[in-house]
Every structure is written in C-alpha cells, then in structure tokens.
C-alpha cells in the first residue's frame, strides 16, 4: 500500500480538484441559478454528505476493519458532516454558526494536513477529500445563496459548545481507549500538532489556536460591519451650513 505524501502529487491534485469544484458550483449558484436550482443543489449536497459518510462505514464493515474506537463520527468534522447536511435543508441560522466555525476551521486543516495513510486510487483517499471538501463547500454555498452569517456572540457560543463537546468526547475516549478529536494522542502524520508540546499540553495549545482561528474567520464580517457602521454614522450626521 502506497503511503500518503503530504503535499505530494496526489495531495496537490486533490486540493486543485476541490478548489475547481468550489469555483464552478459557487459561481453557478451565485450568478445563474434560480431559487429552485439552488434548493436542488443544496439538497443534493446534503444527501451526498450523508451518503459518503455511510459509505465509509460500509467500506470498513466489508473490509472487516470497522471498530467503534476509530470509525464513529466523533471528530469535529464528523459532527460537521451531519450538521452541514441539516443546515443545507433547513437553513437554520443557529446551526449555521456552528458549522461555519467547526466546518471551515476543521475541514480546512484536514485538507491541508490530512490524517490519511493511503493515497490515490484507494477508496479512502476519495472518501476523505470528498467528505472534507463537501463540508467547506456546503458552508460556502449557504453563505452565497442564503446570506446566513455568523455573529460575535455566536462565535463565543460555538467555542463554549466546542469545549463541552470535547469534554464528552474526552470521557468517551477514556472509557473506550479511543482518540476522537485527537484528545488522547496527536494525529497521524505531519501536521500542526507536530510542532506542539507532548500530551496533554498540546490540548491547551490547540484550544488557544482554535479560538484564534474562530476570530480570524470572523474578521471579514467584522470589517463589513465596521464599514456599514461608519457609513451609517455619516448618513446620520445633520447637515451643516
């Protein structure tokens, strides 16, 4: 089995294909699609997200490698698969805030530094990039087609929710010997945690970096709000002779 190579040919190819799909889908949805077509695309992506997740379980069941310590969707990206699918159908603004921060922050890191041991043309190679690519595409699609956006208050709520989720997942890891959310040990391969302190200290570092990532993702909206506030202030000023 050929091992996956970080930023090797197959990694670069996957990123380029994912980026091309983003451009094609978002351009069509934003410029030419009517409301019915947008709903159809959203529904198709939601179904595909769920189907590809179950295909992962089907593969491991068929191969005899399924086990609850590794295959359950208890990483942030695993949660995001179902939450993004739900939001594509419902357009729920509260759930959107969760998938905006979890989905983009988590899946982007996963695309850039995959926790992947196999490469093209293995099934898990395609499933991995399909899963994480669709998470981000689903969030971007909702932004382009619905106008949903995060709030600063929502950012803090999502961060608190992340801490709660980590606590429950950490307990599950402790009871079962699992490593979901990489709370028990660092993920496989070369990634950001390779530069961090050993367990358990890197968990605190991840928490800090995660919060900074959340704020970074909120910056574009903060800038838009600032510009609108300044424009509104100018319009509200009384005219002077």
The pLDDT tens digits of the residues spanning 126-145 come to: 999 999 999 999 999 999 99
pLDDT at site 234: 62
pTM summary value:
0.93
Q: Tell me what pLDDT residue 238 has.
A: 55
Q: What percent of the chain has pLDDT over 70?
A: 96
The mean pLDDT of 87-115, rounded to a whole number, is 96
At residue 2 the predicted structure's pLDDT band, cuts being 50, 70 and 90, is confident
Residue 152 — pLDDT band, cuts 50, 70, 90?
Answer: very high
Q: Which burial class, exposed, middle or buried, applies to 115 when counting CB atoms under 10 A from its CB (0-12, 13-18, 19+)?
A: middle
Mean pLDDT of 185-211: 92
Backbone torsion region of residue 81, taken as left when φ is above 0, otherwise alpha when ψ lies between -120 and 50, otherwise beta: alpha
Alpha carbon distance 91, 77 (integer Å): 19
């Amino acid at each position: 089995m050929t091992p996956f190579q970080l930023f090797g040919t197959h990694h670069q190819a996957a990123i380029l294909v994912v980026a091309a799909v983003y451009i094609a889908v978002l351009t069509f949805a934003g410029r030419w699609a009517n409301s019915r077509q947008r709903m159809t695309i959203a529904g198709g992506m939601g179904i595909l997200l769920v189907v590809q997740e179950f295909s992962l379980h089907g593969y491991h069941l068929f191969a005899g490698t399924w086990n609850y310590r590794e295959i359950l969707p208890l990483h942030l990206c695993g949660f995001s698969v179902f939450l993004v699918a739900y939001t594509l159908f419902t357009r729920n603004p509260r759930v959107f805030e969760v998938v905006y921060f979890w989905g983009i922050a988590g899946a982007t890191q996963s695309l850039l530094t995959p926790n992947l041991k196999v490469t093209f043309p293995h099934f898990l190679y395609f499933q991995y990039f399909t899963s994480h690519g669709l998470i981000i595409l689903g969030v971007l699609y909702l932004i382009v087609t619905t106008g949903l956006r995060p709030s600063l208050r929502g950012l803090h709520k999502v961060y608190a929710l992340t801490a709660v989720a980590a606590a429950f997942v950490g307990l599950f890891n402790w009871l079962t010997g699992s490593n979901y959310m990489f709370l028990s040990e660092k993920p496989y391969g070369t990634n950001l945690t390779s530069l961090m302190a050993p367990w358990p200290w890197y968990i605190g570092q991840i928490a800090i970096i995660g919060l900074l990532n959340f704020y970074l993702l909120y910056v574009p909206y903060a800038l838009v709000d600032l510009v609108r506030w300044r424009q509104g202030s100018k319009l509200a000023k009384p005219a002077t002779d």
